[in-house]
Amino acid sequence: MAKTAFEKPGNFLYPLPAVMVSCSGKEGKPNIITVAWAGTVCSDPPMVSVSIRKSRYSHELIAGTGEFVINLTTKELTRAADYCGVRSGRDVDKFVECHLTPEKSEKVSAPGIAESPVSIECRVRQIMELGSHDMFLADVVCVRVDERYLDEKGRFHMEDAGLTAYSHGTYYELGKTIGSFGYSVKKKTSASGKRGREKKGRKK
């Protein structure tokens, strides 16, 4: 299979989550910025990162307070996410313009977005100046989830939330399941073996 090499390297790591990062200034005015350069950094302790240009209004707010909330984006939130990525909070109130609800967080002063199924509260540990963007390395201090997606055992069903992804300038709704973690090495159960276990279960 032939491949073409681009002479100028670029960011081609796709798809990505286009998350809505909510924050607020020291005076308490809330804002939202949509970020595609975001990701998991560490699981123990739980850490994430978001990379933001110095020129963005939210960069100033997050650097000033050291706190922000990552809100996952759904199909219903995609238009708002796009708007929050191309308009500046210096000029408009994005919560008002997008008809979103600022929601009080548990551990940080920055609000979450009530309409998002998952809000990840973060506290900045380090700001790394990298070039076009500064990376905010942060500790996850609390995760809040929409109770509509919890089953009777308290398990959160992320697959029912209608999450979206961003790939090379385009938003996509997540599609069908093709596997789950570890399925490539999981032992297959034969139909006869399954029937045998069912018969044993009925004899008890």
Per-residue pLDDT, averaged over 133-149, amounts to: 97
CATH number, domain 19-173, options 1.10.443.10, 3.40.30.10, 3.30.980.10, 2.30.110.10: 2.30.110.10
Per-residue pLDDT, averaged over 59-82, amounts to: 97
pLDDT in tens, 153-204: 999 999 999 999 999 999 999 988 899 999 999 887 655 555 555 555 554 4
Asked if pLDDT for residue 145 goes beyond 60, the answer is yes
pLDDT in tens, 14-32: 999 999 999 998 888 899 9
* Sequence ranges of the domains in the chain: 19-173
Query: Hey, is 146 helix, strand or coil?
Result: coil
| The pLDDT of residue 44 | 97
DSSP result, 149-175 = GB-TT--B-GGGS-BEEEETTEEEE--
DSSP result, 94-123 = HHHHTT--EE--SSSSS-EETTSSEEEEEE
In this prediction the pTM is 0.89
pLDDT in tens, 84-121: 999 999 999 999 999 999 999 999 999 999 999 999 99
Asked if pLDDT for residue 1 goes beyond 90, the answer is no
